[in-house]
Amino acid sequence: MRKFLAIIAISILPAAALAQIPNPFHPYKPLKQIDWKANWQLGKDSLHLSFRPYSLMERSLVPVALSAACIADNDYVLEKRIKKLGSISSPALKAANVTQYSPAAIMYVMKLCGVEGRSDWPRMITADIFSELLQAGMVNVLKYTVKRDRPDGRARNSFPSGHTATAFMCATLLHKEYGETVSPWISVAGYGFAVSTGIFRVEANRHFCSDVLAGAAIGIISAELAYDMTDALFGERGLKKKIQSPDVSDRTTWNFSLVSDYSVKSDVFTGNDAKPAYSIGVKAAYQPWYLGAAVYAGATQLQWTGSQDVYLEDGASVPDVITVGAGVTMDIPLMKRVDITGDALFGSTVKDLSYRFISDSGPVVWDISAGQRIKADLGVSIRTTGYSGVSLTAGYDRYEGVWEAFTLGTSFNFVF
């Protein structure tokens, strides 16, 4: 949070110098003279199509769905049986510290280089400050109310992921300033950094999947609420570039998704006391027609199924299986905003895995060989805004020689 506020503070100085204004809110009315109600009504009447084509309810559907998936996720079973004795030093920890702020850095660099976005400097900075205050408030209230143990056992503030909340907040700010007005590929870069941050935090043994999903929801809704607050504060003042969001009924050509699913029934073919618990990953798809091509990368964390608690050795990570693959994807319109979707992805795990645990009766070892993996699913996708959607899926997951499972999942999509 301190780093993000420092970025904002540093950015205010060149903004004021470039605009040659005595304070960041000139020439707008002093705060005590602002008519919030009039500005809000003005925004609804005159800016609806050009700058705010979707209601707050429509824009809130993705974070609401993320929150629902977080609640439904069964990764809470992981912390009940495998006890964590230590932490790990991982490149993923350092990477997440950088990627969480990368979307904000892109936004400020573009602004400093003179690329015109949705707002002028004062309006954009105000939205950024509101976003950070909302995000930090929600994250910290939940962290110190829920008090969930981290996977590495070092603290009781795992839920939600603050890094992921910051990353998705910054990505949504970038999306609203430049993704919706200049090019959706800018949003792809921003949300790519955000998704990477969440996956890094899981891989580094600092968060469970549900922590990441909750953090993403908080980050997105913080930015959306902040822009509504800024609209009420400024009205039409400071708006520079109109939104170019497609209609919700337009066909989707590109689809970038944060994918999460959990196993509802599984058969394990090894002698290990383990089965798949949940998966989190990213999928990119290109669909010039109703069928298209997709690539996928993700991690599946495993649940201990033995009769006694076991302990990870100091420095060990929660067991997970990294998978990469490619395949075909389907998207068939059913009605406005609603499509039938499906995927068939073929890939393999990255490497052989061996995990060692400590138990009351002696050491426990899992040996999992690398092998082919097939993931297939069928579901319903709902277009929430021109650039976003959510999907609910039921699927089949087979890891050669290791497990066969049936899954329920969610997908949160950036589409255009």
Q: What is the CATH number of the domain that holds 334?
A: 2.40.160.20
Q: Are residues 160 and 267 in the same domain?
A: no
* Rounded Cα distance, 25 and 31, in Å: 9
Q: What is the extent of the structural domain holding 405?
A: 254-415
Q: What is the DSSP letter of 150?
A: P
For residue 63, give the nearest of 415, 344, 373, 412 by alpha carbon: 412
Q: Are residues 207 and 259 in the same domain?
A: no
Q: Which of 234, 266, 289 is the C-terminal boundary of a domain? A: 234
Q: Are residues 177 and 86 in the same domain?
A: yes
Q: What is the DSSP letter of 22?
A: S
pLDDT at 25: 40
Q: Are residues 278 and 348 in the same domain?
A: yes
Q: Are residues 230 and 294 in the same domain?
A: no
* Rounded Cα distance, 98 and 104, in Å: 11
95 falls within a domain? yes
Q: Are residues 223 and 292 in the same domain?
A: no
Q: Which of 187, 202, 234 is the C-terminal boundary of a domain? A: 234
Q: Are residues 268 and 319 in the same domain?
A: yes
326 falls within a domain? yes
* Rounded Cα distance, 263 and 412, in Å: 18
248 falls within a domain? no
Number of domains in the chain: 2
Q: Are residues 63 and 125 in the same domain?
A: yes
Q: C-alpha angle 352/311/157, rounded to 5°?
A: 100
Kindly write down the DSSP assignment for every residue of 297-348, as one continuous string.
EEEEEEEE-SSS-EEEPTTPPPPEEEEEEEEEEEEEEEETTEEEEEEEEEEE
pLDDT at 70: 86
Q: What is the DSSP letter of 51?
A: T
pTM here is 0.86
For the chain, the first-to-last Cα distance in angstroms comes to 32
Largest Cα span, the chain = 73
pLDDT at 75: 75
Encode the chain (416 residues) as per-residue pLDDT tens digits.
455 444 444 443 343 333 333 333 434 455 455 566 666 665 555 555 567 778 888 999 999 999 988 887 767 667 666 766 655 557 888 899 999 999 999 999 999 999 999 999 999 999 999 999 999 999 999 999 999 988 777 789 999 999 999 999 999 999 999 999 999 999 999 999 999 999 899 888 788 889 999 999 999 999 999 999 998 888 888 889 988 888 888 888 999 999 999 898 999 998 888 889 889 999 999 999 999 999 999 989 888 887 777 887 766 666 789 999 999 999 999 998 999 999 999 999 988 988 888 887 888 888 899 999 999 999 999 999 999 999 999 999 999 999 999 999 999 999 99
Q: Are residues 266 and 405 in the same domain?
A: yes
* Rounded Cα distance, 223 and 176, in Å: 9
Q: C-alpha angle 309/313/319, rounded to 5°?
A: 75
Q: Are residues 180 and 259 in the same domain?
A: no
